[in-house]
């Protein structure tokens, strides 16, 4: 009934979500915020694949989602531990 309502289908919604996720990854500063926006981007990515009806590719992409996020989170938490330990040892060195 409205002309702009015909524009909204799975393809345009997925493209919008992808653009928002990419903008979030670029704009936000902290690494965990970037990981959250990456999880949003994966939703748009799977929607984009499904809208072209490559269903088997979408299945594989959906299964490999949490694996990539868990690998990134392991790297981030390990890096954070190392940096905190280094800062603490530097302060102790300044005092002593």
Partner 1 sequence: MLIQIIGIIVLLMALRTLFAQDRSERMLYLNAMTFGIAGIIALYIQTPFGAIIAITYFVASTISSNAIAYSIGRVKNEILLDE
Binding site for partner 1 (CB under 8 A): 5, 8-10, 12-13, 16-17, 20-21, 23-24, 27, 29-33, 35-37, 39-40, 42-43, 46-47, 50-51, 53, 55, 58-59, 62-63, 65-66, 69-70, 73, 76-77, 80, 83-84, 87
Phi, then psi, of 24 in degrees rounded to 5: -65, -40
- Closer CB to partner 1, 73 or 89, in the complex: 73
Listed residue (42, 55, 45, 39) closest to 10, CA to CA: 45
Say how far apart CA 86 and CA 60 lie, in whole Å. Answer: 40
């Amino acid at each position: 009934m409205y002309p702009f309502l015909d524009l909204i289908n799975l393809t345009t919604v997925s493209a919008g979500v992808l653009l928002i996720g990419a903008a979030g990854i670029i704009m936000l500063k902290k690494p965990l915020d970037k990981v959250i926006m990456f999880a949003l981007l994966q939703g748009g990515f799977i929607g984009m694949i499904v809208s072209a009806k490559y269903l088997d590719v979408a299945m594989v992409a959906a299964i490999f989602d949490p694996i990539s996020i868990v690998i990134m989170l392991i790297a981030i938490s390990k890096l954070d531990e190392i940096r905190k330990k280094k800062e603490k040892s530097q302060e102790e060195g300044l005092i002593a």
